[in-house]
Amino acid sequence: MKQLVRAFIVLIVVAFVLLFVVSRLNSSQGYTSGNTLTVYNWGDYIDEDLIEQFEKETGIKVIYETFDSNEAMMTKIQQGGTSYDVAVPSEYMIDKMKQENLLVTIDHSKLPNLKYVDTRFMDLPFDPNNKYSIPYFWGTVGIAYNKDMLKGKKITSWNDLWDPDYRNDILLIDGAREVMGMGLNSLHYSLNDTNKSHLLEAKKKLDTLTPNIKAIVGDEIKTLLENEEAPIGVVWSGMASEIIAEKDNIEYVVPKEGSNLWFDNMVIPKTAKNIEGAHAFINFMLDPKVAAKNTEYVGYSTPNKKAMDYLPKEIIRDRRFYPDEELTKKLEVYENFGKKMLAYYNELFLEFKMHRK
């Protein structure tokens, strides 16, 4: 018994020593609770030079981590193992996080640069009055295609993807809302349709697209299109912008039937330990010159109206990424379905992927 007690005491002592060593190491590098900010963002979704600039201007050390899906991000925040101070979820996930009490109310008085955000992107249904979120980037889902590989053929519609000439030519995003939405839009249904007969109809139509699908992939879709391993990809607009920057024979189109209009916003999770620093970081990212620099690096569309003054004209006049009002009216923001309906979407999407095999 005494040996067990001694072993237990030794374990406690070792644990305290390790905690002390880690604390001293963090302090020696400037990482103390008062001047550290942990930011949780999508991969390759910020100009890292701006992180260094923020650190120099504020004295706050940034710990930067990335995620690859809204669901993974939310799970990590729910678990609470890491004290994230700023995160960048999409609109439907913000609504869900609000419902689960995972967000801190944002103090607009601490964001003087908020005045530069275009009012079109404020006070949206997923967060009235922007109580919990601040716009970061926005964009669309559309079709990128290689003009040379298609030998002059143009794509303007979701239904064009069913052309038998495109056998084994199409790459799809590995996302249930995006792919099921494509099927729904091709039938002129809403992206937020919850009518099960419509959803089954969309899934049945997607099954007929199988011969044309080369792969269903994640971020590697960008590399595959750049390397001309496939001529067509259903992608997010910012990804298309990055590809076009490397390959001028790539075109991007938002299909005429309509598509998704998405928003990624900055939030302060309940896990935050540095709320003051979180507000400082959000306000920094809203600075027009900072927003413009970040926009040029990332390639997605900025909601910062004043940042437009610092962006090249060829960017802000490009209607592929800053669509006109007529097309914008056909775009829809994903609604938060709740667990039951989202599970049904995921089930249909999984069946579609299994059908390919």
Q: For the domain bounded by 139-261+323-356, which CATH number is listed?
A: 3.40.190.10
Amino acid (one-letter) located at 162: W
Reduce the DSSP state of residue 150 to 3 states and report it.
coil
Cβ(306)–Cβ(121) under 8 Å? Answer: no
Domain ranges across the chain: 1-30, 31-137+264-316, 139-261+323-356
- In a structure prediction context, what are the per-residue pLDDT tens digits for the chain, which is 357 residues long? 545 445 545 455 444 444 443 344 444 444 444 599 999 999 889 999 999 999 999 999 999 999 988 989 999 999 998 999 999 999 999 999 999 999 999 999 999 999 999 998 999 999 999 999 999 999 999 999 999 999 989 999 999 999 999 999 999 999 899 999 999 999 999 999 999 999 999 999 999 999 999 999 988 999 999 999 999 999 999 899 989 989 999 999 999 999 999 999 999 999 999 999 999 999 999 999 999 999 999 989 999 999 999 999 999 999 899 988 888 888 999 988 888 998 999 999 999 999 876
Residue 148 in contact with residue 235, Cβ under 8 Å? no
Burial-class residue 303 by CB neighbours within 10 Å (0-12, 13-18, 19+). buried
Which pLDDT does position 324 carry in this prediction? 83
Asked if the domains 31-137+264-316 and 139-261+323-356 are classified in one and the same CATH topology, the answer is: yes
Pair 280, 86: CB distance under 8 Å: no
Sort strands 250-253 and 259-267 into parallel, antiparallel or unpaired: unpaired
Q: Which amino acid is at 311?
A: L
**Topology (CATH level 3) of domain 31-137+264-316:** D-Maltodextrin-Binding Protein; domain 2 (3.40.190)
Considering the entire predicted model, what is its pTM? 0.79
Estimate the crossing angle of helix 339-356 against helix 196-207, to 10 degrees.
20
CA distances from residue 37 to 60, 154, 254 in whole angstroms, order as listed: 7, 47, 37
pLDDT of residue 6: 55
